[in-house]
């Protein structure tokens, strides 16, 4: 087990739900923390009666959604000033990407919740691309509702053996996101035809 | 939007999605390898056949104790009295029981491995005494 995950788990065991909320919040904004594995551990703690499954789920879900919204608002407000002046005028790729994100915002936000690294990137693109808040929040809430639930459920089910199953976390997320990406590719291809 | 612009936009969309699909496939391959290393499939079979009961763990599970665990969590996990480990290990740290074994070991300049062994022995002893 790596040093970051060990530290994160100790932090959770000491400060419980506030720690879970802030770890998930920071991860949703920008910090690359092993949150899915942590949520599996939280599910296991809940199965042992050390955490309440409903409070843990609520804390993690709120952390994710608030983190997403914070990141979106920051990039919506300052993204143009930071990026546009320096890069977007030089590279037309940015303006094309902006248009693309606006067009497929909902499904992109939903699918990106399942693979940790994509979440903050998509939050940035949505804020920078001035995607409508209503579309962004709907994608974030629906994506996070599922993405927060399943690792906790896996941990709750396997209990103390959770460490043996943490590898499944990456696979499940990647499969869901891959299905979404392939689906979107087919849709774009059909539109092009 | 002009047709030319639309085409370019679709081109960007397709390239972005292909890149995303490549990254996701890599994540998938790494995940499958990790599952093989962790022996998840046989662990799952063992888990199902053992039909573990939720609640306190038996002393035979003392190998599940890790350095990131706090004393409070270990007490809860093995249903030990709150001050049992404090007395048994002579813990004088004011943060007890909300301190991890790793942090406690660091504060004493003791190696984590030997501290883990001591805690495991104490847990085993407590459960044997209870029986």
Of B14, B28, B100, the CB nearest to A171: B28
Shortest distance between the Cα of B33 and any Cα of chain A, in A, equals 8
Q: Report the residue from B8, B43, B98 with minimal CB separation from A14.
A: B98
* Strands, E assignment, A35-114: none
- Per run of 10 residues, the mean pLDDT along chain A (length 193 residues) is 86 95 92 88 92 95 95 88 66 68 81 78 86 91 90 87 74 72 70 62
- Residues in Cβ contact with A9 at an 8 Å cutoff, skipping those fewer than 6 apart: A38, A41, B68, B69
Domain span at A87: 3-192
Nearest CB to A50; choose among B24, B73, B99:
B73
> Is the pLDDT assigned to residue B53 strictly greater than 50?
no
Once rounded to an integer, what is the mean pLDDT over residues B41-49?
Answer: 58
Q: Does B19 touch chain A (CB under 8 A)?
A: no
Domain count, chain A: 1
Q: What is the pTM of this model?
A: 0.78
Cα B126 to Cα B54, B57, B115, B117, B120: the distances in Å are 20, 12, 17, 14, 10
User: 3-state DSSP call for residue B100?
Assistant: strand
């Amino acid at each position: 087990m790596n040093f970051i995950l060990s530290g994160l788990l100790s932090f959770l065991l000491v400060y419980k739900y506030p720690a879970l909320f802030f770890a998930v919040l920071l991860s949703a904004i920008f910090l690359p923390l092993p949150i899915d594995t942590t949520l599996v551990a939280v599910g296991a703690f809940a199965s042992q009666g050390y955490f309440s499954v409903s409070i843990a789920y609520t804390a993690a879900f709120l952390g994710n959604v608030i983190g997403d919204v914070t990141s979106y608002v920051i990039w919506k407000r300052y993204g143009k000033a930071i990026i546009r002046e320096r890069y977007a005028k030089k590279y037309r790729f940015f303006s094309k990407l902006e248009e693309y994100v606006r067009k497929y915002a909902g499904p992109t936000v939903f699918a990106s919740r399942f693979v940790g690294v994509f979440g903050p990137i998509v939050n940035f693109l949505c804020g920078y691309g001035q995607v409508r808040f209503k579309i962004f929040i709907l994608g974030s809430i629906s994506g996070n509702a599922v993405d927060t639930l399943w690792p906790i459920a896996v941990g709750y089910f396997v209990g103390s053996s959770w460490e043996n199953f943490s590898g499944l976390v990456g696979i499940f997320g990647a499969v869901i996101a891959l299905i979404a990406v392939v689906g979107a590719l087919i849709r774009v291809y059909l539109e092009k035809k | 939007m002009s047709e030319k612009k639309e085409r370019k936009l679709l081109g960007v969309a397709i390239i972005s999605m292909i890149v995303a699909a490549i990254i996701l496939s890599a994540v998938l391959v790494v995940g499958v390898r990790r599952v093989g290393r962790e022996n998840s499939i046989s662990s799952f079979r063992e888990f199902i056949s053992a039909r573990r009961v939720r609640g306190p763990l038996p002393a035979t599970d003392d190998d599940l104790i890790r350095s990131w665990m706090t004393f409070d969590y270990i007490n809860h996990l093995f249903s030990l009295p709150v001050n049992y480990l404090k007395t048994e290990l002579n813990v004088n740290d004011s943060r007890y029981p909300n301190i991890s074994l790793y942090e406690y070991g660091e504060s004493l300049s003791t190696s984590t491995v030997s501290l883990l062994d001591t805690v495991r022995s104490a847990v085993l002893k407590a459960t044997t005494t209870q029986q």
